Amino acid sequence: MKKELKKEHLAGAGGAGSAQAPAGRATARATGMAGTVERASASAGACAGADAGARARAPRERAPGARTLGARTPRSQALRALAAIVCAAMLAAALSACGASGGTAPQGGATAATTQAAVADATQAATESAQDEAGAGQAEASADAAASGAATEPAAPAAETAEAAAEEPYKFTFFNNIFGSFSDGDQAVFDKLMAETNTVIELQNMPSSSYEESLTVMMASGDYPELVMFPDYTKPVFLDGVEYKAVLPLNDYIANAPNVQKYTYPISFKVLSVMGDGQIYGIPRTSIARADGYMIRQDWLDRLGIGMTEGEPVTLAAFTDILRAFSQSDPDGNGANDTFGLGLYTADGNLEIPTALSYTFGLNGWQEYPGEDYKYMDPKYSRQNDSFKNALEYMNALWNDKLVDPDWPTLNLDAHKQRFEQGITGMRAEFVGYMLEHEQNLQNVNPDARLSYMVGIVQNEGDKVAGGTYSTGVWGHFSVMSSAKNPQKIVDVLDYMLSDNFWEVVKFGVEGVSWEFDAEGTRVAIPNTGSGGRFMRRNEDASFFISLNTPGSERPRLEKLIDICIGQAVFSKDEGFRPAIASDPAFLDADKELKTSVSKIIVGDLPIGDYNAVLDKWYDAGGRTYVEQMNEGIAAAE
């Protein structure tokens, strides 16, 4: 896997993938090229000036996206020393090339040799200066002296200073979202991580319910933490950060992170190469690729006399009957008509086909379908395949019959969870690894509540569930920002969390804080502490999701259900590829209108028959190019 990663995903820019870069990015590259031409012109002017004997220093031009540096530090003084020495070397070479005092220019080979020797000397001097922070001022003076041709004394040995600097912890800020509160277990994990990696991590934890708003404000401020968790690699807040160089490419650093490479799906690196330039712009918060089903109130099923076999899919007809019973037959026995079958939420104000229901209608992203105009098609954009329209029609029927939560259009994820745990809804999609945690939350309200797991919904008896939840293996990702002083160190910390030395701490927390051994030598959880540090994951360890609080009898049950969901996974062929036109404003407007129309059809504000007209408009506004470019991208990857 490591070899494949280096070959396909850690290559530098300019490979075959660069042809897929969004057209909008070409402007930035053109600007960079113009800057190169401008600098070349400036060099020619400097050469002419040297020939005339001019000694004035040319003003420096900040590169696009460069950070503004603060007050001088020993490190920055050393870097300025390097700059001065290199400038001196280049000036000497330029004088030779242009012909100082009107003399004849030497041969090119001699010029190159002179320049290389000068740069090598400058690099060596700067290295010594960087190692001796106390002597940084001397390095700058040496640089000035070198520029004027004066001899300088070598810097004094600085082994003691270098050793002290090496022991200084590296400090960086980490902007992250949290679900719930930051527990004692969380803090203990980070304390241990900092001690073992010689770092000081300043956590900026934001509530998950408002994280996207906090992230947008932070990115707009231009004052970036060094490490940021982005929840979605397709959102403008991340893509703009990449385009404007606030987010760093990580290929060189991931190449030195063996655990990140080993425990990440190859597809995850592909989807995080969002510019089509072969560069990877994040480290995945890995999730297990699978097809999730639904948590369902088993106590409601029992009260209503409805049978369901856990671990086996149910038919769409049976699923609908359960929703109807939960909505109309008083499943909680309180005598009020106050429950609904299916709980749903919206991430962006739009309604859509729920993922766990999309499999039922064959909506598995970009695949090969017979009778299409293109080799690869997403049924959502198909004018030949009625699968998506059939799903829309079904969701509209659920809405009209009040079998889904009527507050769906206004609920975010947290509010949606709360309504389930308060006993308002009887079913919600969730990863089975979290089921017992939600059952405990339910029992805090109703001690008799119990949950079962519906692994999927099929059209007919005997059909198999096939779909994809996080089929790219990415549930958010971590990006290193342009503010980072030492990007490799930050990546090393993330890599260390996946190492054999620290993985059990990530999974279980710190001994004595989150867990302890019982008399039989079994690891058991300490109540109300939290395990902590669980944002880095290995792609091959599903047991990560099973809490230590899980009773021994429940563990085999959850493991079996997790394996079923993993076995149902189907990967969309687009692998997260983003066509160039996806950044075009006219296309974005048309795509937004398409999503709005889907919402209107679901709630009955637009007839299902109007979908074809909306789709035609989408095709005319760039959708046709989108489909064509998607086909080209998939074909190139295959």
Is there a contact between 342 and 323 (Cβ–Cβ < 8 Å)? Answer: yes
Pairing outcome for strands 170-178 and 199-207:
parallel
pLDDT per 10-residue tile (average), the chain, 638 residues: 40 34 35 34 36 33 34 39 41 37 34 34 38 40 40 46 69 89 88 97 90 95 97 93 97 98 93 90 92 97 97 97 98 97 94 95 95 96 96 98 98 94 97 92 95 97 89 90 98 97 94 93 83 78 84 90 93 88 93 96 97 96 97 91
Indicate whether this model's pTM tops 0.75.
no
DSSP letters of 58-113?
PPP-PPTTPPPP-S--HHHHHHHHHHHHHHHHHHHHHHHHHTGGGPPPPPHHHHHH
CA distance 327 to 286: 36
- Using the structure block, give the residue that is written with the tokens 């983003």: 578
- Using the structure block, give the residue that is written with the tokens 């209608």: 361
Strands (DSSP E) contained in 194-258 are 199-207, 227-230
Is there a contact between 509 and 191 (Cβ–Cβ < 8 Å)? Answer: no
Domains of the chain, CATH where assigned: 73-163 (no CATH), 169-289+471-559 (3.40.190.10)
Task: Name 501's Cβ contacts closer than 8 Å, sequence gap at least 6.
Answer: 196
CA distance 62 to 75: 19
Per the document, the length of the chain is 638
- The pLDDT value recorded for residue 553 is 84
Surface-to-core class of residue 316, CB atoms within 10 Å of its CB (0-12 exposed, 13-18 middle, 19+ buried): middle
First CA to last CA across the chain, in angstroms?
Answer: 17
- The pLDDT value recorded for residue 534 is 67
- The pLDDT value recorded for residue 59 is 33
CA distance 535 to 287: 10
List, in sequence order, every residue forming a beta bridge with 173; answer none if it has no partner. Answer: 202
Surface-to-core class of residue 625, CB atoms within 10 Å of its CB (0-12 exposed, 13-18 middle, 19+ buried): middle
- Three-state SS at 291: coil
